[in-house]
Structure 1
């Protein structure tokens, strides 16, 4: 009967012996000192790492169990016994070792980039006996059961960490988490104006583009169809009336693009380029009615219209000019 063993470095083996029918709590007997075995038992090993023996003149009294200590899942299988140098082998018996789930893990198909609208399958593998029941969790919340969890037409809402839990009557085990990172084209694109609702010439104004996309989108800015800048933030310092108009941002990634709705910058400024004109032409006669029009460039728009009847007795042009300029 073959026998080998190992022991830690630095220790010394003091005694090696074979025994039979050990009783717990009692010192096991050395078969080599038993009169029934002393003449039939021969040690063939070196008693340091090899403890192989030969037993001669075997009788039915030598029958004994095969005993596995601390049985492991690797011990499962079919077992037979036989004597050395004899051709007869006993009928096999099957050893079925039960154990809790081990080595649970999740595989994702497809394994590459996942785009919104794809079909995705998560498979849970678990080593256990008896076979385990499988449950699926997303961020700790139960989402399904069974070895395979399928998602058809996946959306950005399915992004997140997934785990499977394997459970049988011997125990349970969670797999490591896998992350579904769903790619999608830009959506929910909008522009926010940061600052006072009333924009006055000389102010600083910031336009911010908000976009939901994966991967993050590149942002472009347009004023009434003309490209004016890029980046999530478009800033204008010391704004003038020339910046008034409609602005949009365009959000683009490799899966698509989307424009925001337009926002209008309405820049307020005081009157400038003031001028006076006379309504009508030709010769003006004493007693006629004359219309003087004052126009100016401003926001909000200002337009002054004065009707003056010029007579010989009331004709103070200085006062009329000052009145128009006010």
Structure 2
């Protein structure tokens, strides 16, 4: 009798232990409009025969532990399948395999799912505990940035984590694609992108999506890395050779975040450094030889400052310019000589005898007779006319005696002029 009791207990324990349902995975996330697979196996005592199999989803107001059956997702009696899941499910329909596939999932499909089977006995009914929790990822993907800084500011050298996810969950079973400024990052294939020591090169806009899929994040997120000015250099406009007299502009260029708030310009002359400006641009209106010096600029923001490399300006005077200057000087000199000659020619030449004590000037009226005669060769062929002209000369203070009347100071000059008839 004792042995019979032990045998019955063993048989009962074996029978009870054989009632089981196994789910895998217990939680799953899939993209909306995709398909999801619920892996499931079940077992029962060998002397029972399964009669009905079903998958159900408790409604929101019901208990979510499987103790209350809600919407019939799948039913071996297809007439009992809920309208929301008709033609959307596929059951494995194999011995002790209760796997289920749901197509074209939507946000409303999120929730708990349970499998239940019923045998030909009123006591042979079983619902697996635990069930499977389904989350539906609603597009678009979103990128979130996590950092150890409390204020959220990211500086060079900080550790940064970028996570790709959706409104409800992230389908980790998929391979991801990451993009920086719309360019693919080949080595990044997980849902999380970790940067252990961020640098200014990591500054940019990031987005993510599933690999081999057109679904990417709707909005890019800026990884705002704060850094001091980098790659400070000087640009010269216009570029090329600098001609004397031309204008030029020096521009201080750099990469910085936040933007540069202060610029300084310096000139190196004979080993002496002098400050020459504060703006981003330094202009020279008319370049000359005195501008042949070395220059550099400094860019500064809240994170620090950096100097540019030193550049040397070389202002050239072209041969063409020298020729024009020389030709202009020669032309002006020649014009001055010509003008001086014209002025000299217009001034009459006069010869004056300076009075001396030995030859005092005449002071009395003199009678001057002057005969102007034609040359002997022309007297034979032409008639000679004699014209007398009276010329009045000013009175003289000379002590010489007068030849004519003392009362008349007029000097009479008789001049014989001859001309051709």
What is the TM-score with the length of structure 1 in the denominator?
0.49
Q: Which structure has the greater CA radius of gyration?
A: 2
* Higher helix proportion: 2
* Higher strand proportion: 1
